Chain A
């Protein structure tokens, strides 16, 4: 870990103004709220959270595809170092080669009118990375082979392919410009389980063989547990816990992480371990609760949680938790301790 991290975000906030009319008051929505996160070079970093937690927006901000309202994001590889909050136009163009995105829906992400060869070649042509057609073709074939697409596939149109094959085409397109960072946003969510494993194995092979860093955004904790080496859990625009994967799954130190884990349906029909009931739903991000944003659904919430927002703090090497009681309570316990103890 001597090399500097590929991504370092500090106090990153992405906010949007809602409401346009002069009668309706404008409200500010912090989709990403004061997030600091470090992604080590070559790591497979998982980002989990429910819909509306801001995980997609955070991923886009790191690609400079969402506005950085406050804070800073630094990208660094062997050749360049960019401060994404005030990056210049020429640098941004270069950054697009180095950081790529793979979308969720392989049916919507590929143009139906282009052949697979043209889909994969397009970034090369747009970015001017190759000079001759022969050079482009050679590069396309090389990447296609890495993604287990054969030459015959390159002449066809996307409709001829299944979901898993289409996702491999999307991956090839993302890889062709030689990125050092890939944001994979729910990239296996639309795939059947029998195919999902195949795409996950391919992404892992790319990380291992090409040394590319991944931000893997997913709502599926069991998938994240299997492929990621580091995980961050997001709730209402903020990180509530980050940890090495194994440590996080062995003992979650934030009550939200613990509830998420227990909500995964077990494959064992006789496992009647009751899911920790998270009552209610995620509050509206335009009107987040005061104090700890999770306190409205937390079984362990105390008076302090309602007024004072917990900071994300390091409680063990590489483990960060935003909870006042991370050391005190065992969140996997069925019952919360009596309130008087605090």
Chain B
């Protein structure tokens, strides 16, 4: 896995809370190669945002990274052990340097009383050796590149003067202006209307091609994943339960949770199909199920096995892994019955 840009190994994250240690992420492994878009899918509480924030060490002070966890970033200057960085100052290499992040709610991510332009210049002054004039020039160019009309006028405006779609474009422009190797996009289109979402998805595809950076794309929307990602990892209650190329996972889901998610989606090409919810609710992280984390909601769980033994990730086909005691055929058959 030496060609990976970032390699996450056995990442376990717990939070120290009044109720005790809460496990949010449990032995998660994945790699992202340069120029690759990895989609991370899961529902609220699955740990996808916590995982993403760990890559930049953005989780709160009560976060406990397990001693065995490793996040390795392969930069041309040499490898960086993200979890091993001790000094806050050294984190700059990662935060805003090698990795940038865009968030779901762009209004909450811009300072309301500083112009968008000043915020863009500020981060360039921190992360590059540019002069203020150069930083300004590059920022305006990036605004133009992300399809914002009249970029030099927009540069001097505040975030509240932008529409939702504009704000998300400005945020992408800002995130990309430091030329990161990895962009983390946490539900970047969820707050947008469909027509604007389509514009932003197209923009992101263009940018991957032009800048050749890697993207970790977090979303709960499988349709958005199908249109953007190369590979997908499906998360449930802090565990990755399935991973593979986007075609493998969406066409031949090998984990009952993935199949359940797809069955629950309303599909436009078959309006008569019943919507099948995944039964039950996601368990509280304070009360994680034994054995397979999904067995409490699984329609095909094997009595005595799934509650007792945790399934290992096993290959379903080349490059396609799932953590289930059942084979893909048994899952598909069991759930269509």
Contact = CB atoms under 8 A, between A and B. Distances in A.
A285 to B, nearest CB: 12
B222 A267 contact: yes
Given A193-B264, A197-B264, A264 B277 contact: no
Contact of B227 (A249, A261, A265, A277): A265
Given A192-B43, A193-B43, A260-B195, A265 B201 contact: yes
Contacts of A267: 222-223, 226, 250, 262, 265, 267
Interface stretch (B1-9, B127-135, B206-214, B268-276): B268-276
Contacts of A200: 275
Contacts of A269: 226-227, 246-247, 250
A259 interface: yes
A263 interface: yes
A249 B276 contact: no
Interface stretch (A82-90, A221-229, A304-312): A221-229
B196 interface: yes
B220 A193 contact: yes
B226 A196 contact: no
Interface stretch (A11-19, A128-136, A159-167): A159-167
A168 to B, nearest CB: 11
Given A245-B271, A269-B227, A222 B193 contact: no
B139 to A, nearest CB: 22
A197 B275 contact: yes
A270 B165 CA distance: 26
Interface residues of B, number: 41
A125 interface: no
Contacts of B199: 277-278
A341 interface: no
B226 A265 contact: yes
Given A51-B193, A269-B226, A281-B163, A225 B268 contact: yes
Contacts of B265: 193, 222, 267
Contacts, number: 113
Interface string A144-186: 0000000000000000001111000000000000000000000
Contacts of A259: 195
A271 B251 CA distance: 13
A265 B224 contact: yes
A266 B275 contact: no
Interface string A101-136: 000000000000000000000000000000000000
The 7 nearest A-B residue pairs measured at CB: A194-B278, A265-B223, A198-B277, A197-B275, A197-B277, A50-B193, A192-B43
24 contacts: A50-B194, A164-B281, A193-B222, A194-B43, A194-B278, A195-B278, A195-B281, A197-B275, A201-B275, A219-B194, A222-B265, A260-B194, A261-B268, A265-B198, A265-B221, A265-B223, A265-B226, A265-B227, A267-B265, A269-B226, A269-B247, A275-B202, A278-B198, A281-B196
Interface of A: 50-51, 162-165, 192-198, 200-201, 219-223, 225-226, 245-246, 249, 259-261, 263-271, 275, 277-278, 281
Given A219-B193, A277-B198, 13 more contacts: A162-B281, A164-B281, A192-B44, A193-B222, A194-B264, A194-B277, A194-B278, A200-B275, A222-B267, A226-B273, A245-B271, A268-B226, A269-B226
